[in-house]
Amino acid sequence: MRLRLGCRFEHDASAPTPAVVLVEPHSDADGGLVAERWTSEPALETTSFVDLYGNRCRRLVLPEGPSSFSYDAIFAISPAPEPVPGPDEGQHRIEHLPDELLHWLLASRLCESDALAPRAWELFGGTEPGARRVQAVVDWIHENVEYGVASVPTTGTVEIFERRGGMCRDFAHLGVTLCRALGIPARYVCGYIPDIGIPGPFPPMDFHAWFEVWLGASWWTFDARFNTPRIGRLPVGRGRDAVDVAMVTTYGAASLRRMTVWAYEADERAELTEEPLLETRSG
Amino acid sequence: MRLRLGCRFEHDASAPTPAVVLVEPHSDADGGLVAERWTSEPALETTSFVDLYGNRCRRLVLPEGPSSFSYDAIFAISPAPEPVPGPDEGQHRIEHLPDELLHWLLASRLCESDALAPRAWELFGGTEPGARRVQAVVDWIHENVEYGVASVPTTGTVEIFERRGGMCRDFAHLGVTLCRALGIPARYVCGYIPDIGIPGPFPPMDFHAWFEVWLGASWWTFDARFNTPRIGRLPVGRGRDAVDVAMVTTYGAASLRRMTVWAYEADERAELTEEPLLETRSG
Amino acid sequence: MRLRLGCRFEHDASAPTPAVVLVEPHSDADGGLVAERWTSEPALETTSFVDLYGNRCRRLVLPEGPSSFSYDAIFAISPAPEPVPGPDEGQHRIEHLPDELLHWLLASRLCESDALAPRAWELFGGTEPGARRVQAVVDWIHENVEYGVASVPTTGTVEIFERRGGMCRDFAHLGVTLCRALGIPARYVCGYIPDIGIPGPFPPMDFHAWFEVWLGASWWTFDARFNTPRIGRLPVGRGRDAVDVAMVTTYGAASLRRMTVWAYEADERAELTEEPLLETRSG
Amino acid sequence: MRLRLGCRFEHDASAPTPAVVLVEPHSDADGGLVAERWTSEPALETTSFVDLYGNRCRRLVLPEGPSSFSYDAIFAISPAPEPVPGPDEGQHRIEHLPDELLHWLLASRLCESDALAPRAWELFGGTEPGARRVQAVVDWIHENVEYGVASVPTTGTVEIFERRGGMCRDFAHLGVTLCRALGIPARYVCGYIPDIGIPGPFPPMDFHAWFEVWLGASWWTFDARFNTPRIGRLPVGRGRDAVDVAMVTTYGAASLRRMTVWAYEADERAELTEEPLLETRSG
């Protein structure tokens, strides 16, 4: 199955403004890249780097005045829903966790797992460790937190936990925070998600956020917003929380005028020379 | 000049308790290791790893009942006070910062630089960028924050900023937070500091915390607690904030009974077979 | 100044054949990427990874029958010739080399610096250490080795040294080998080189190979084939020698039918939608 | 079970000589470190670093005249023989190998797998891929190569293959080279090996060399010299071949006067304050 995905950002800057852009699928995304294209208007010089967490970032300087940049790609994906851990998939005792996973137990800016630990144990300490405990956390968030309540980039999970409302980013933060508090390595993920095989009424195309936890011998995807296995989910950035993986970070005087995102099933013969089918949101 | 440094932790656990220990000087510490020794009582098995930030960590499982472990070393250090940046040492424009430094501009659990950015610019926006601005930040903390006001491991910098009081950890967090808010890469450091050439009345030996900022083409040490160049400072851990570099992290049911730290000038012929001269603090 | 660069490989395979492709400019290439495009015919799925040396590689499986893939990009480059070290740029004493540079003193498959050390010291031991010694090595190769003598992928430097003839790859290997033998960290580089500002009669466009040495506080480019500063040199891969940075590695039954490379100065308004101007070589 | 292991090197230098020392067990060694000690006479300053392959190295400068340094440790090890892959443990198709394993298919200085590929396929192409093929390679080396034939540090595997004789290093190189030629990721390992549970007449204690191959989902140890599962094998260095993991590399005018190695089963209550039981070899 083929996925067409990408995004376009339009800015207006009162002075040249440095920016970091993180919109390209992570190199360990399932499936394979068939074609990709990066363009900008006016033509902007960019450099690339891979950050501490393996994310593929671009740097550029937005010029004074209006400018835009776009990423567009075709991906081959599996037509099957994403794998879910079996209910008996085990949780590691801390002493058996691989060294590099200890990092993902630490509290972070927006996931104050240290502060929420007592509440996490109160709510979930009685569940069975492992996949069942993580699913209990996800079910609880899905059922008790209202989707669509606005938050700002500095809204932490303690506040979301009390408010019981948020956006997909906040749902992911809640999952990360509660799992870390319970001794389960967890990381925040943002990326593309197409609306394949989903009975609506979800908005069809946007950036999305979810989280991953370490069970058994691998990372598993959980999504407290949708709470159902999806097709074609494509991670872009992974980090401790949303602070680490902003799609676009501008340092200075640029306004985002418009952001357009696409992620949809495409014909096997789709080419990047065709215009993408768009959903538009004003920034 | 030779430095004898080390520490000893004594725990009592009601069940086997996994722990991570970060007490050995960082591999990029100035000076050279002459001798080092790791011991435990009873004899505990440990494994070593280097974390995401290059810190040298050990893992072990504290047994049920009382146990202790010690690190002891002799280091050759420069007898000169640590280097300080010249007043004209420049601050990079964001677009000229090396890629790997962008990480050190991000807000973190205890350094909410995003939330404090308006206050940082209000206080220091009128100073000259670069070393002078960093020194203004450090002077401000040194003069306006009372040393010795107790805080807990989850106390963030927003709270310290309002309270105007804290411990060395909080002084370092304030420096990190204000610098990041001002676009200057900054990282938290903990380590050993001997009382060489200091007129007191500082407590002579303990773990200490300070911070580093990137100016010109390197990291520079700043210490808002002492605000004077020191001799023989030895970094152990570097991270976004204190969350990343706890000296000992226990996961479970162990109580710290006693912590002993030493860091003092030693004779050129000092050997680890002699007992260290101790200062003791009850945990 | 703008550079249009890229390549196209055409294969014919008797069975599906895995391949690794290394043709995209290194992320630390000077200058900035303006636009880039990856395409294949038929549409092939690819995954990306960054290897141990920071090179940006793609993996794919060539299908049975004919297939092709292309990389095409526009880069903004400096119109000035590349920097050269001053004659006094110093060579580090081994004990002062940064840790990570020791790797680049080791002998490798095609750069037998251990075996050639006596000859290296005999020839260059009397020159002044540092930039002057490296330049003496490069001048010697440029003057004493005949360009255009065919070699095969397993031809090592001991053989090239004796034969006094080779291709650009062999010239680079000689430079790497002699410098390592003399205690100067050196690495092999392959990439694109346009024919800007060069009075010919060099072939205008092809992949090329050169090498870098560590002097003072950075890596410097040396090119024993051309021995003159170039404009717009773009590194693709760096490694111990050519073994580490093959443009295309196929594991199995695929024949390369045609390889096309381009690298030339382009108009400021060049777009990737225009066909590149081609030089063609049969594979 | 406890292992006492370590080594002592004695040098005599006509001028200060920089050196790199690689004698401490690798951080991923099975089992746990109980105690360790590093000492030198006269007291030498050292710095530590982790190389490209994760090996734990020390740097120091040997002074003019005689000097020595020692590493001594107690390790807790499993009393069971090391695990061996089941005969059906599979070999990956190249296209399914994890990205980071491709590196271990490349030819290297002393493992010219490119040159020996025809011979490897001739000899082992008829065997079943996977663990059976690797075992066939190891059996062939064990039966066809004479142990104890002297070689020098620049002796490559092509020469060993023809000569059919070598030391443990050469046996390991042969295994690495033939496996890589057959498309099986392989790496060279050196380390400590005690003589536990072995009916002799092997020399009881020395540094040893073996190799690891990737089968199924992990690295497996193979040892063409002993060709039988051992107890308490402790890896120190891993690399492409012996070039990458010399125990001591000196850059200059130092002579090795004596090297002493120990690795033997120790009492549960063994402490580093007791002298190790020694076997001595003159350098």
Residue pLDDT, tens place only, D15-67: 999 999 999 999 877 778 998 899 899 999 999 999 999 999 999 999 999 99
Dihedral over alpha carbons A224, A229, A230, A231 (to 10 degrees): 160
Helix (H) or strand (E) holding D133: helix D131-144
C71-125 pLDDT, tens digit each: 999 999 999 999 999 988 888 899 999 999 999 999 999 999 999 999 999 999 9
Shortest CA gap D21–chain C (Å): 12
At residue D202, the pLDDT reads: 53
At residue C281, the pLDDT reads: 39
pLDDT mean over C49-67? 95
Helix (H, G, I), strand (E, B) or coil at B117: helix
Q: Encoding tokens for residue D20?
A: 């790199």
pLDDT confidence tier of residue D4, bands split at 50, 70 and 90: very high
Instruction: Give yes or no for residue D228 having a pLDDT over 70.
Output: yes
List, as ranges, residues 114-133 from D with C-beta within 8 Å of C.
114-115
Instruction: Give yes or no for residue A19 having a pLDDT over 70.
Output: yes
Could you tell me if D68 lies within 8 Å of chain B, comparing CB atoms? no
B65-123 pLDDT, tens digit each: 999 999 999 999 999 999 999 988 888 899 999 999 999 999 999 999 999 999 999 99
Q: Which residue is associated with the tokens 């003019």?
A: D64
Shortest CA gap A86–chain C (Å): 28
Could you tell me if D243 lies within 8 Å of chain C, comparing CB atoms? yes
* Closest of D251, D256, D252, D246 to residue D283, by C-alpha: D256
Instruction: Give yes or no for residue C12 having a pLDDT over 80.
Output: yes
A186-200 pLDDT, tens digit each: 999 999 998 887 765
Shortest CA gap A96–chain B (Å): 9
Phi, psi of D231 (to 5 degrees): -110, 130
pLDDT confidence tier of residue C11, bands split at 50, 70 and 90: very high
* Residue contact B34–D40, C-beta within 8 A: yes
At residue D15, the pLDDT reads: 95
Alpha-carbon span B277 to D38, nearest angstrom: 21
User: Peptide bond preceding C18: is omega within 30 degrees of 0, i.e. cis?
Assistant: no
* Closest of C64, C9, C19, C10 to residue C251, by C-alpha: C19
Q: Encoding tokens for residue B174?
A: 């304030």
Q: What is the DSSP string of D250-265?
A: E-SSEEEEEEEEEEEE
pLDDT confidence tier of residue B196, bands split at 50, 70 and 90: confident
- Sheet bearing C32-41, strands edge to edge: A279-282, A254-266, A2-13, A65-76, A32-41, C32-41, C65-76, C2-13, C254-266, C279-282
Amino acid occupying residue C55: N
CA-based R_g, chain D, Å:
19
Give contacts of C71 with chain A, Cβ < 8 Å: none
* Residue contact D18–C153, C-beta within 8 A: no
C228-273 pLDDT, tens digit each: 999 999 999 999 999 999 999 999 889 999 999 999 898 888 888 7
- Judge residue B1's burial from the number of C-beta atoms within 10 Å of its C-beta, 0-12 exposed, 13-18 middle, 19 or more buried: middle
Give contacts of D153 with chain C, Cβ < 8 Å: 114
Phi, psi of A262 (to 5 degrees): -135, 145
DSSP assigned state of A128 = P
Could you tell me if C60 lies within 8 Å of chain A, comparing CB atoms? yes
Q: Which of C64, C108, C119 to mutate to test the interface with D (most CBs of D within 10 A)?
A: C108
pLDDT confidence tier of residue D278, bands split at 50, 70 and 90: low
Nearest to A34 among C32, C34, C43 (CB): C43
D192-218 pLDDT, tens digit each: 998 887 765 555 557 899 999 999 989
For chain A, give the percent of residues with pLDDT over 90.
78
Could you tell me if D70 lies within 8 Å of chain B, comparing CB atoms? no
Could you tell me if B158 lies within 8 Å of chain A, comparing CB atoms? no
Nearest to B154 among A47, A100, A115 (CB): A115
Helix (H) or strand (E) holding B119: helix B113-124
Shortest CA gap C49–chain D (Å): 7
A218-275 pLDDT, tens digit each: 999 999 999 999 999 999 999 999 999 999 999 988 999 999 999 989 888 888 877 8
What ipTM does this complex have?
Answer: 0.93
At residue A27, the pLDDT reads: 81
Helix (H, G, I), strand (E, B) or coil at A46: strand
DSSP assigned state of C276 = P
B146-185 pLDDT, tens digit each: 999 999 999 999 999 999 999 999 999 999 999 999 999 9
Q: Which of A109, A112, A121, A245 to mutate to test the interface with B (most CBs of B within 10 A)?
A: A109
Phi, psi of D104 (to 5 degrees): -85, 10
Q: Residues B16, D2: contact at Cβ < 8 Å?
A: no
Strands D234-239 and A254-266: unpaired
Give contacts of A15 with chain B, Cβ < 8 Å: none
* Residue contact B108–A108, C-beta within 8 A: yes
Model pTM?
A: 0.88
Instruction: Give yes or no for residue C49 having a pLDDT over 50.
Output: yes
Q: Encoding tokens for residue A47?
A: 């450099």
Dihedral over alpha carbons C85, C91, C92, C98 (to 10 degrees): 40
A52-107 pLDDT, tens digit each: 999 999 999 999 999 999 999 999 999 999 999 998 888 889 999 999 999 999 99
